[in-house]
Structure 1
Amino acid sequence: MAEESHGVGGLKYDKSKRSWPGEVNILFALIIIILIFEALGQLLPYMRGQSMLFDFNTNRDGTILNIARIKIIILQVSIIGIIALGVTQVIISGGIDLSSGPLVGATAMIVMSFAQTELVNGQLNPKAVFGAWAFDLPVLIPVIVGLCFGAFIGIINGSLIAFTGIPPFIATLGMFLICRGIAQWWTRGQPVSFPTESYAWLGSGMMPVVWFLLLAFLFHIVLKFTVYGKHTYAIGSNEAAARMSGINVRRHKVMVYMIASMLAAFAAIILSSKNLTAQTGMGQFYELFAIAMAVIGGVSLTGGRGSIIGTVLGAMVFGVIQSGFTYIKLDAFYQLMAMGAIIISAVVLDQWRQKSATAKA
């Protein structure tokens, strides 16, 4: 029988309506994708039986896992993953943010200008942007400058959306162009390089992964257990009802976009630290990849549903697919086509999930 009595009052429990948490489904999808690429490594003639994530020469690392490739996958997604944590909150609140990619480029250029060392091989820094006052500053100064710039951009985005009624797509698309222009204007397109050792440490080694996981844990707690999180879900689920219940919707939207932009700015800090340079083209496509990570992770584009854990798993799925394409030696232009198809598929999947949920209700 599908139904059984449960509790007082003749309440019914329908076993057929039980379902796993969405995060479990994403984990299963991650495992299946890994198995597909492993199978391709065995089946494609030119791969010669290679393995994507395993290395059976245990004398190399003392384990059957391909540690080098796993590190590359995690590093690839960690910086964009930081952006995806902010994008997740924006989408849950019912919005969208297209400005995060160019914001990375603009912030990287600005921050690196305040993180430069004076001497390079005994000579004055050839890439110096400012005078002597800006050399060898404490690492906290460029970090604060970057976060303040991100907060400023986020407040503008949020205010435009909350107080003028401009659709988030249009407001953040305009900011997309503004930030890309700022990145090119800051040094007239010239790269900014040679940071201090303390600044370079922020993105060295596996530090981007550490920052990503720490921030993911922090915002998982924030969304799940704080008033900020409850209000974010409430606004995304039904903005009119949230307003009627006493939530200051306008103020909260500004806060959500500010936090998202600050996370994008922090990602720029880590990226420029990791690369030891800042260039105007940094962050290209990052906004789309971050949105894709969130949607793959179960965040609904209609708002009101999603989780940080899901986004982290979505980032891993995205990273495995990206690394898998390189592993099977897929040409770069085919990779772009495939990633575009994956983004479209993620949106189609989200729409299908919404229709299925509505039908069951």
Structure 2
Amino acid sequence: MATKQLAASPVKKVAGNLSKYGIYIAFVVMCVFFSIFNPLFLTPGNIINIVRQVSFNAILAMGMTMVIITGGIDLSVGSVLALAAVITASFVKTANPLLPVPVALLIGLLIGAACGLFNGYVITKGKLAPFIVTMVMMTMARGAAQLFTKGRPVTGLLESFDFLGAGFILRIPVPIYILALVVIISHFILSCTKTGRYIYAVGGNEQAAAASGIKVRRVKLVVYTFSGVMSALVGIILTARLNSASPVLGNGYELDAIAATVIGGASMDGGKGKVIGTLVGALIIGTISNGLDILNVSAYWQQIIKGIIILVAVLLDKKD
């Protein structure tokens, strides 16, 4: 009996390590695979290109991670992104000494915060499912963006504004620096603050968290507001990169943000998830897209492959 237990221990240890480091191993294997079939994949230029493309989804996924850890979900991020983008672009277009560009950016971030706060308030006060509330916000924000612009894109923005999305510092795109800052802030909140501990506690067992004195409502308001701000931030960066804002911007982005979070190890049941895991999840999605593009794989097949990866990640989560 003792021999069997000793024999089983190494197996369990290996299985535990695979579960813990599986996504990192998968990411490395994926990079090696694509580099074998195309030497251009691991060139510095392509690596920077991948990270820049990933930065938008990864920033969105930081907010989504906190929401999912509490046991919720935010389907409105793509639409809130568009609403904040078109409003910010409109103010940037008419920027003047009384309303400079920084104020326009702040207005955009406040729009995202207001949408997130609304989600959190209705979910907690109305005791409604996050899926329903954020789906309603998804529809409302998209409609508001269409109404605000009358269905037309906002163009003719100031060239100085482009720096946020298309500029470089020491040959590194500015969005990558913004992503690094967001990752540091998100990691600090979740790992080094009382709010972070409360977020995990609420996702682990909401009733127990409330019984222990944690203000569950306040925690949910914080995470949904943070998600809204991240959505607005991505909308602003994308607008600066494209030098225009469209009311259809960010359509479907919520799916990639959820995928990055789940692939990164966050549990849809709540109570589990890490910022670094989410970042790697976003990198995996970006690497797949970039690698398959280089190999000239159809965009339709890419969607199928992404769907399979998400399904496998969810199934592995359920097994844990």
Q: TM-score, normalised by structure 2?
A: 0.91
- Cα distance in 2, alignment partners of residues 349 and 209 from structure 1: 30
Cα separation, partners in 2 of 1:335 and 1:158, compared to 1, 3 Å: same
Q: Unmatched 5+ residue regions in structure 1?
A: 5-13, 42-49, 55-65, 118-133, 354-361
* Alpha-carbon offset, residue 345 of structure 1: 2.7
- Cα distance in 1, alignment partners of residues 286 and 279 from structure 2: 11
Indicate if the aligned counterparts of 1:152 and 1:258 stay in contact, CA closer than 8 A: yes
- Cα distance in 2, alignment partners of residues 189 and 152 from structure 1: 22
* Alpha-carbon offset, residue 327 of structure 1: 1.1
Corresponding residue number in structure 2 for 1:62: none
Counterpart selection for 1:344 from 311, 314, 317: 311
Matched, 1:53 2:30: no
Cα separation, partners in 2 of 1:252 and 1:313, compared to 1, 3 Å: same
* Alpha-carbon offset, residue 32 of structure 1: 1.1
RMSD over aligned Cα, in angstroms? 1.9
Indicate if the aligned counterparts of 2:34 and 2:41 stay in contact, CA closer than 8 A: no
Corresponding residue number in structure 2 for 1:263: 230
> For residues 3-38 of structure 1, what are the alpha-carbon distances to aligned partners after superposition, in whole Å with 9 as ceiling and x for unaligned?
89xxxxxxxxx6665444866322111011122323
Corresponding residue number in structure 2 for 1:294: 261
Cα separation, partners in 2 of 1:285 and 1:229, compared to 1, 3 Å: same
Amino acid at match of 1:155: L
Is the partner of 1:97 in helix, strand or coil? coil
Cα separation, partners in 2 of 1:271 and 1:17, compared to 1, 3 Å: same
Corresponding residue number in structure 1 for 2:148: 186
Corresponding residue number in structure 2 for 1:33: 30
Counterpart selection for 1:282 from 233, 240, 249: 249
Counterpart selection for 1:215 from 178, 182, 207: 182
Flag the structure with larger Rg.
1
Matched, 1:110 2:87: yes
Indicate if the aligned counterparts of 1:139 and 1:198 stay in contact, CA closer than 8 A: no
Q: Unmatched 5+ residue regions in structure 2?
A: 168-172
- Cα distance in 1, alignment partners of residues 102 and 10 from structure 2: 55
* Alpha-carbon offset, residue 201 of structure 1: 1.5
- Cα distance in 2, alignment partners of residues 195 and 145 from structure 1: 16
Corresponding residue number in structure 1 for 2:170: none
Matched, 1:83 2:45: no
Matched, 1:150 2:109: no
Higher relative contact order (CA 8 A, sep 6+): 2
Corresponding residue number in structure 2 for 1:304: 271
Corresponding residue number in structure 2 for 1:60: none
Counterpart selection for 1:175 from 125, 131, 137: 137
How many pairs were matched up? 308
Is the partner of 2:39 in helix, strand or coil? coil
Corresponding residue number in structure 2 for 1:317: 284
Q: TM-score, normalised by structure 1?
A: 0.81
- Cα distance in 1, alignment partners of residues 278 and 294 from structure 2: 24
Is the partner of 1:277 in helix, strand or coil? coil
Is the partner of 1:192 in helix, strand or coil? coil
Aligned identity (percent) is 38
When you count helix as a share of all residues, which structure comes out higher? 2
Counterpart selection for 1:73 from 27, 33, 50: 50
Is the partner of 1:162 in helix, strand or coil? helix
